[in-house]
Chain A
C-alpha cells in the first residue's frame, strides 16, 4: 500500500524552495541515496518553476503530490493555470544554449519516467517517477 502526501502551494516564486526542501526530506525518509535525492530536488523544482512562470498567478495555488511505493516514488505537480500546447515544445539545442527552455529537458534527464500533459485553458500536469537503485 502506497503512502500518499499532498501539498497545496501558492503560485509564488519564494515557495519553490520550500517544495524543494519538502521533497528532499521526503526522499530521504523514503531511503533514496544522495544523488537520487538531488535529482528529485532539481526536477521537482523545475516543475514548480514551470508552474510559477507559465501556469498560475500569485493568487492561485498548485498541487504537489508524492506517492511512495516499495520500488519507486511518483511525484505529480499539477496546476489549473493557462496550460500550453505541448506540440509546440521543442527539444533544446544543447550546442546552441538559450536563456530559456531547459526546464523540461532537465526534468526528463534526471527522472526515470516523465509524463507531461497540458491543455490550453485547463492546466498542466507533470508526473515524475524515480525508482530505487537495485
Chain B
C-alpha cells in the first residue's frame, strides 16, 4: 500500500493544490502529516485537496487532516477537499467532516 502526495502552489489564487493518491492509514498517516506541515511551513495558505484517487482513509488519516485544519484555521486559512470516492465521502459524512471539508 502506498500514498502519493502531489502539491503545487497556485499563484493566481494563492492556494496550495494538493493531490492525494492511494490509501492513508496508520502505516503512513505520519507521512501525510509531515508533508502537510512542510508545505505549510514553506507557505501558509489555503489548501484544496483533490482526493479522487484516494481510495481509503482511516481515522488516523482524518486525525491528521483535522489537526492540520485546526492549525490552519488559527492562521485564517482554510482547507477543502474535492471529488471524494463513495466510501471516503461516506466516512466524511458520518463523522460530520463533510460540513467542513466538502
Contact = CB atoms under 8 A, between A and B. Distances in A.
B59 A102 contact: yes
A14 B91 contact: no
Most chain A CB atoms below 10 A, which of B23, B25, B56, B70: B25
Contact of A94 (B63, B91, B96): B96
Q: What is the interface of chain B mostly: helix, strand, loop, or mixed?
A: helix
Given A52-B26, A97-B66, A106 B87 contact: no
A82 interface: no
Interface of A: 13-14, 16-17, 20, 35, 38, 41-42, 45-46, 49, 52-53, 94-95, 97-100, 102-103, 105-106, 109-110
Interface in B33-77: 56, 58-60, 62-64, 66-67, 70
A53 B66 contact: no
